Each structure stands twice: as C-alpha cells, then as structure tokens.
Amino acid sequence: MKTTAMIIATLWSSMSLADNCVYDCPTGVSGEQIERSIYTLSNNANTKFADWVAYNVTSETIDGPSRSRYWKADPDIDSADTLEPGDYTDANAILSTDRGHQVPLASFSNTDDWAMLNYLSNITPQSSTLNQGPWVDLESAVRSMVSAGQDVYVVSGPLYEWTFGELPEADETHTIPSGYFKVVITDVNGWVEASAFIMEQSAARADDFCTTEVTVDEVESRSGLDIMPSLASYKESSVEGQLGGLTASLGCS
C-alpha cells in the first residue's frame, strides 16, 4: 500500500523530471528512483546510499532562514534498503565523518520542502575535512552563481573505489563512499556548459575545490552513469569532454 508521501512523490513526477534534471535524469544504474519537489535521487539498496541526486538551484530556492538538521529515515524507501538515525551513532568519534548532505540544505532553505533534505537517503558519512572544506566551498560557489543571476542544475553522487570503513553502530550491511562527484550544469536557451569535480574522502579541509575539476566524461567513466542522457550527440564532446566550462563562473581562475 502506498503511503501519502509516496502518492505525493508520484504526483510530483512529471514536474520533478523537468525541474530537477536537465537533459533527463542520469541512467546507468537500476536503483529505486524517488522524485520530489526539490530533488530526484536513485537509491541503492546494496550500499544504502543514493547513486545520484539531481537538483535545480534558483534564486527562489536560496537565501532562506537557517534550517535545522533533524535526521529521519526516508519514509518512501523500505527500511531494509536505507539507514536510520541510530546507524550513525559514534560515526564522528570513530570515523571522523559528518552526516553529509548530497543535496545541500542551504541551497533549498527558502523552500517549503527543505526538511526532505534531512532524509537519510540524501545523506552519506562524509569525512569532516571534506564536508567542511572543499565540498562546502563548491556548494557555496554554486549558490554564488545563482545569486549572480544564473540558475544551475547539479548532479552529485558517490564513488566506490577504495575501502573507507564502516559505520560502527549500523545494523545493516552498507558501503561508505570513497569519494564523490559533482557536475554543475547551465542551460541558457540550449547553450549548455558544465564543470565536473571529483573529491576524495581523504581531502584536507584547506584543499581548493578548483583543483579537483575533471571532465564529465571522467565522472561517467568512474561512476557508470550517463549524466545527461538526452544531450544531443553533437554537443557531447564540447560539454562533456572538455575542462573549464563553468570554472570561471564558479570563481576558479
């Protein structure tokens, strides 16, 4: 039987696909896709984390009041396929991790549905130095672009390339990411630009996110995803195969 939240998510489906993803949502994995007003994600029942999240940051979604972090299991995902708040007990003390948002709370603080960002399907154990250093710096740079007048699409997700550790009190089998990707995209009347970044869990707090830029092609190769599956083939080489698409707009030299 579908819950009320599941029915609402379904009703948002057609709007979310247009609002959260640009050139369609990523393909290449077979997780459970959850579509919400402010983001879309694909949950991985094996790792217990989202393989990707997609969202659209606009001038209407940012600059709201400070929002609280009240963690909650995702009500639309079977409890066997996601984590609960208690699974994170002692994670910071033992692993030096934060509960890291894949879709950042600050980018949707001015929306009615901001609390959905605290569902644990949108959270991963992210090293504190990464989460509070280059990762948040990139998220802030995205919001600065939006404040300057440019709506931005983002696709973000985990990579599993080396063993990081396990949550000490989790009672479900899970796999903590070794790193993360973030692809930042703009589409102005069909003119598409993108910059992609990959950051490791071993990143230092003082690291410069600009030095972690890679091509979208590299993100796709390492994640197994097609980030923009309906992007015209004649645009792919310039958008996905090149560096520097949005680096100046993000404050990188």
Average pLDDT, the chain: 93
Q: Can you name the residues that pair with 127 across neighbouring β-strands? A: 97
* Phi, psi of 25, rounded to the nearest 5 degrees: -75, 155
- Confirm whether pTM is higher than 0.75: yes
Share of the chain above pLDDT 90, in %: 92
**Starting from the edge strand earliest in sequence, which strands make up the sheet with 213-214, in order?**
32-35, 40-43, 50-57, 152-159, 179-188, 191-200, 213-214
CB 159 within 8 A of CB 221: no
Query: Active-site residue among 36, 101, 143, 182?
Result: 101
10's tokens: 């379904």
Residue 55 CA neighbour count, 13 Å, CB half: 30
pLDDT at 18 (0 to 100): 46
CA separation for the pair 12, 197 (Å, rounded) = 29
List the one residue out of 191, 242, 235, 248 whose CA is nearest residue 216.
Answer: 242
How far apart are alpha carbons 10 and 47 in whole angstroms?
A: 24
For the chain, residues with pLDDT lower than 70 are 1-18
In this predicted model, what pLDDT tens digit does every residue of 81-126 receive, in sequence order? Answer: 999 999 999 999 999 999 999 999 999 999 999 999 999 999 999 9
What does the alpha-carbon distance between residue 93 and residue 56 come to, in Å, rounded to a whole number? 34
| Residue type for position 21 | C
Could you confirm whether 174 is annotated as catalytic? no
pLDDT in tens, 10-20: 443 333 444 89
Handedness of CA 223, 188, 230, 36 (dihedral sign): positive
Q: Which of 28, 55, 25 is nearest to 221 (CA)?
A: 28
